[in-house]
Structure 1
Amino acid sequence: MSDPELDADEEVFDLVPAKALRLTFPAVSFNDREYTDLRLTEPTVQQLLDASKVDGAIAQTLALIKLNSGVPLQVLHQLPQRALTRCGDYFAAFSPPSPAPTKDSGETGEG
């Protein structure tokens, strides 16, 4: 069904919720609570902004996981590296590609 109010040259992009990621892991105890999983969803703009205030790629990824899942950093610090990698890959799917270097930038891609 078409909407008569749309222009022929207008693009429509429906923001359908993205598939969440549930990551399970051996129990980690913190503050009288046991954590056995975390659930990630598409990050919000605010979560991305808040995570970007932290220095370093690993710290930014951990901050984004914490902000998105609600799991404390103390728990995340005890997870194996594979968990960090998988969460980073999940979030990367929502990131736009980096712009290609231009002639003016001095980057040629040659080593």
Structure 2
Amino acid sequence: MNLIKILTIISCFFFKVIIAQVPIYTFPIETVNYYVNGGNGIQIYVEEKGNTKKITIFIYQWDYRGTGRSDKPRDVKAYTPKLVGQDLHAVISKLMDLFRLKE
């Protein structure tokens, strides 16, 4: 019984050491950052990663108003669904313009 416990402890330690030493290779990803004017003139931070010609590995993300690198208005009225929708419209419009230019 003690032999089983010892082997279990040794095997857990062994696998942790092996797994921790496995290198994770990353490929260089081109990143482009910019701001888009959202609703009420709020600056929305946008980040593109990857190549737009290879859509399967293209990542497009943004920070909503009040989060991340986007503007953070103090007025509660600056967070209405209408203004957030205008932000989304501005980001999508910019994305559509980028794809039209790169075709």
Which structure exhibits the higher relative contact order, with contacts defined as CA atoms closer than 8 Å and separated by 6 or more residues? 2
Structure ID, larger Rg = 2
Q: Which has the higher helix share?
A: 2
Is the structural similarity TM-score above 0.5?
Answer: no
TM-score by length of 1: 0.30
